[in-house]
Amino acid sequence: MFAEKRFARLARRFLHTTPVPLRLQLWNGQAFDLGPAPAVTITVKSPSAIRALAAPDFSSLGEAYVHEQIDVQGSIGEVIEAVGALVRGAQKRAARWSRLRATAHTRRQDAQAIEHHYDVSNDFYRLWLDGNMAYSCAYYREGNETLDRAQEQKFEHICRKLMLHEGERFLDIGCGWGGLMLYAARNYGVQALGITLSRNQLELARERILRERLADRCSVELLDYRDVPEVHKFDKIASVGMFEHVGLRKLPQYFGKVARLLADDGLILNHGITTMDPQSRSVGMGAGKFIDRYIFPHGELPHVSLAVHRMSEQGLEAIDIESLRFHYAKTLAAWASRLEAAQVDARKLVGEKRYRTWLVYLAGCAHAFAQSWVSIHQILAAKADRKGMQPVSWTSQHIYRN
């Protein structure tokens, strides 16, 4: 009886202040609508799950869903929208950003974090990624492209920004399953080295190199960026979806290493998620807490201004900065939709808990990018001291030519 009264008060409060298109269904069949025409239903499966809704945030509700204390009805996109409205309504006075966190980011910690995230199962990622298995923000020129097309456009966009030429030495830091590296070798004739900390990625990338007969142009190593030999310089370097794992305190070391690996007339393209908070604090409302616990252990996001500042301290001059926030919101929404559509196979591969974790993570991140909680930037940089060389390029026409 106490629980029913509590939910009734909650429903009345939302109905009269900030209606949410959400129905709360209790274990005994009683239901409470928090707004007219609810499109989403959250079923509270037992009295023990009440605490998730006592002071709801993305972490408590996400955990309750992962551990099957609550169930949801509605598309995952609608669910996240409704939960977002519920959390905002319940936490109107709460801070948008949580406290600044800092992790040591030792080689061992970083390797364990990558293993936790990426060594789930290659077959699992195949269910919802594109054919090239590009696990980073796609690039939509028109907005109506397929995911496969948008990911190839991302590869092309990066290659054009880097002005790749045949025979150049190209380093792909955090190469994933090798999509960008293979594209650059196949279409631009570069000599490419990819590095990753994921054994699953390493094995598949090497298989793809052999299958595409590119062993004379491509190689992949299980290697921390800090351990890449500095004997030979690279003409061009790309880091896509990797520097989120570096850590705020390690950014000087990271960009310093990049600068030492880069040829004097070379270019570096850093493509990574950034926070919208100028103080580089993590996202609040429980979202950052959930991601850190279940998905990206020790992940830390800098504001774009901090990233550029740290690059500049290491002698790298930012010459082009582009936000792809809307592109990533669309990419993540596509991933979530594809995973939801493949839920039967996903559950067989990784189990119910991990399926739920990834579904709510992908859909929640799509919501975060759409709501401007986080962003993503491509920063193209060159060495600041270019010793009287000509400009990298007088214009950016080469990036957008047909």
Domains annotated for the chain, with CATH where assigned, are 2-90 (3.30.1050.10), 107-400 (3.40.50.150)
Per-residue pLDDT, averaged over 373-393, amounts to: 88
Question: Measuring CA to CA, which residue among 257, 259, 258, 250 is closest to residue 299?
Answer: 250
Q: What is the DSSP letter of 216?
A: T
Could you report the per-residue pLDDT of 318-343, keeping only the tens digit for each?
999 999 999 999 999 999 999 999 99
pLDDT tens string 280-322: 776 655 566 666 666 556 668 899 999 999 999 999 999 999 9
Work out the burial of residue 150: count CB atoms within 10 Å of its CB; fewer than 13 is exposed, 13-18 middle, 19 or more buried.
buried
Specify the pTM: 0.84
* Residues belonging to the active site: 365
Decide: 266 and 383 in contact? Cβ < 8 Å.
yes
Residue 50 has pLDDT above 80, yes or no: no
**CA-based nearest residue to 88, from 364, 363, 285:** 285
